[in-house]
Amino acid sequence: MKARTRTALAAPALALTAMFAVAAPASAETGTGQGDLSPVPLNGVDGSGTAMVWVDGTTLKVEVEANGLLAGSPHAAHIHYGSDAANQCPTADDDADGSGTITTTEGVPSYGTVQVSLTTSGDTSPDSALAIDRFDTAEGGSISYERGEIEVSQDLADDILAGDAAVVVHGVDYDGSGAYDGDVMSDLDPSLPAEATDPALCGIVSASQMTDMPEGGVQTGGGQTQGIEHLGLLVAGGAAAAVGGGLLLRRRSTRTDS
C-alpha cells in the first residue's frame, strides 16, 4: 500500500519537473565578432578601421577604431542589420540614382537598417541614429570608441554571432571644405547636409577567436562633442528624424523567417 502511494505521488512530481525543464530558457550564447572597416565606394573616404563586438547573452560591448574621417566633426556610427538585406557592405552598383555617391538609404539593401546607435552616452536604440551630439568626434580624423552594457534583443544578438551584422561609420566631406555642408541634403532628413549622414566606412562583423569580454565595458567613446560647427542644426535634425521615423530608423521587428 505504501509503495503504491509513493508511486502515485511521484508521478505528478515528475510531470511537474518535466514541465519546468521544457519551460527553462536556453543558455545564453556568448562570442565575439570582428570586422575590418573599409571605405564605402564612391564616397571619397580614404580611411580604414576595425570593429569588435563582444556578445554575452543579450548584452554587447563594442569597440570601434577608425581613421581617415572628417577631423573635428561628429561621426554617427551604428550596427546595421536586416533580415531581408544582403548583409554585406555596399558596392558601386548601389548608387541607384546615378548621383555618383552612395547615400545611407541606398546602402540599406546591402547592410540593413540601424539596430544599435553607437552613442557615447544615453540611448542606443535606432531612435538615436542621428543624435549627433552623442557620437564620437574625429579628433585628428580618428575615433576610438568603446561602450559596454548595450542591451539588444536575442534575435539581434544571434544575428551578430552569425556574422550577419555590419558596423557603419557615417560622415563624409565631398567638397573638401572641412565641414558638413553643400547644397545636397540628406536623404534621411532634408534639414541636414548629405555629408553628415552618408556612409563613410563599413565592415561586416564576422566570428572572431576572441571569446572573453573585457572587464569594465561602460566606458564611452573618447571623442569630444564640443565646438562642432553646425551642431545645433545636426542635433535638431536628428531629433526630427527620430520622431518622424523612416526607412533607416524603423525599429527592428520580430523576425518571422527561419
Q: Which residue has the higher pLDDT, 243 or 127?
A: 127
CB atoms within 10 A of CB 22: 7
Question: Which residues are within 8 A (CB) of 68 and not within 5 positions of it... i.e. 6 or more apart?
Answer: 39, 45, 46, 47, 48, 141, 142, 201
CATH number at residue 124: 2.60.40.200
- Does residue 51 lie within any of the structural domains? yes
Helix (H) or strand (E) holding 7: helix 2-23
Q: CB–CB of 204/87 below 8 Å? A: yes
Structural domain including 225 reads 27-244
d(CA 98, CA 82): 24
Task: List alpha helices for 112-258, DSSP H.
Answer: 154-161, 194-197, 231-244
Compute the CA torsion angle 171, 176, 178, 181 (nearest 10 deg). Answer: -60
Mean pLDDT of 5-12: 42
The domain tally of the chain equals 1
Q: What are phi and psi of 161, to 5 degrees?
A: -65, -25
pLDDT at 207: 86
- Does residue 36 lie within any of the structural domains? yes
- Does residue 210 lie within any of the structural domains? yes
pLDDT at 100: 97
User: Which cell numbers hold the place of 151?
Assistant: 542591451
Helix (H) or strand (E) holding 53: strand 48-56
pLDDT at 212: 53
Q: How far is CA 245 from the centre of its chain?
A: 17
Q: What are 125-167's pLDDT values in tens digits?
A: 999 999 989 999 999 999 999 999 999 999 999 999 999 999 9
Percent helix, strand and coil across the chain, each rounded to 5? 25, 25, 50
Mean pLDDT of 45-56: 98
- Does residue 54 lie within any of the structural domains? yes
Q: CB–CB of 196/232 below 8 Å? A: no
Mean pLDDT of 234-241: 39
pLDDT at 37: 98
pLDDT at 28: 61
pTM of the model as a whole: 0.76
pLDDT at 136: 97
Helix (H) or strand (E) holding 15: helix 2-23
Output the CA torsion sign for 195, 134, 137, 56: negative
- Does residue 2 lie within any of the structural domains? no
Q: CB–CB of 197/169 below 8 Å? A: no
- Does residue 4 lie within any of the structural domains? no
Mean pLDDT of 21-32: 59
d(CA 177, CA 164): 35
Q: What is the chain's mean pLDDT, rounded? A: 80
Cα distances (angstroms) measured from residue 93 to each of 41, 68, 70, 169: 9, 23, 25, 20
- Does residue 9 lie within any of the structural domains? no
- Does residue 129 lie within any of the structural domains? yes
Comparing CA positions, the residue from 96, 51, 1 lying closest to residue 201 is 51
